[in-house]
Amino acid sequence: MFKKFIITSLCLGVVSCGVVKKKTTYGSKRTVTVAASELPGEIDSDSISDIKSDEKVIESEISLNRSEEIINTALTFTGVKYKYGGTTRKGMDCSGLLYVSFLEHDIYLPRVSYYMANEGKKIKLDEVSKGDLLFFTTSKRRKRINHVGLVVAVDGEDIRFIHSTTSRGVIVSSLKEGYWNYAFVKATRVL
């Protein structure tokens, strides 16, 4: 019994040694002061142009990263068979491929290539970069856009794009190929 008393007393002594009562100051008003920082000198036009150029670089890097993500999503569908109006791995058409790939990254495009061609800014072929859209007319009447592809690589004059063809499904082709070069109508940038 005596041993239990001593052990209990020692434990309480050890525990109470670490406790410090905190002094509280209720009712006393606390104020915090902050010293003002020095104001920078006047901003000249060179500084403003540097800031704007930095913003453009950041904006283009964000756009490029987003393009890469969309391209990678589209490439996951490589080999999926063609299905008119399709938007799944069981089958998809050209505009379905782009519709799903962009939608995966919260970018909404019209579902049909003809209406998709009205989105974004029209660009010249020599300005095309990854993530841009290429539009084609493959019908014999050649009056209306009916095919679309997503640019996945640009190497000099060789522009490679992913799309879904009726004969081979989702594939990557080159704009240098005679058929696609002949059917090409315009390029647009949506990102």
| Catalytic residue ranges | 94, 147, 163
Please state, in angstroms and rounded to a whole number, the distance separating the CA atoms of residues 152 and 131.
Answer: 6
3-state secondary structure at position 164: strand
Which tokens sit at 73?
Answer: 């999503």
Are residues 162 and 171 in contact, defined by beta-carbon separation less than 8 angstroms? Answer: yes
* Closest C-alpha to 95, from 162, 153, 142, 147: 147
Full strand arrangement of the beta sheet holding 121-123:
121-123, 184-189, 133-136, 147-155, 158-165, 169-174
